[in-house]
Structure 1
Amino acid sequence: MTAPLKDLRAKVTAETWCVIEARHRVTGEQHAEIVRGILHDWALAEMRKATVMQGLLKAEGIGGNVREGLK
């Protein structure tokens, strides 16, 4: 079972809208599906970056509570 989707409403630039609309017209995908897929791929990439960064920090001996270092 997948997690329930969260609602998000956002305004986009004209250029962004044109790309989404063109993809919709070519593929028949709904606008929401297009944006959801793009955001999901971006989120997975960001999560991967965070995982790699944690490994690098640990290898450098920089560990513990990262938030403490941000104060």
Structure 2
Amino acid sequence: MGILFAGHPIIVDFSLVMDFHEVTCRQHKDNACNRGGFCNFIHLKQISWSRSNRLDSPISYGDYGVVA
């Protein structure tokens, strides 16, 4: 069934991006994009400092004793 978030499936579409500056929604940067999920450009969101630290920390794989 895949991965669920709040009881809903997460559906992912991948696309090749060479330059993030070109595909970022400039209207979203100015808080002026009214297209929301129908916008064809990326709406980047800043993550919190604590989340950033968790992403930078080593990952433990349970009882296997492996740290990536």
TM-score, length-scaled by structure 2:
0.22
Q: RCO greater where, 1 or 2, for CA within 8 Å and sep 6 or more?
A: 2
**Of Structure 1 and Structure 2, which has the larger fraction of its residues in strand?**
2
Which of the pair has more CA radius of gyration? Answer: 1
Q: Which has the higher helix share?
A: 1
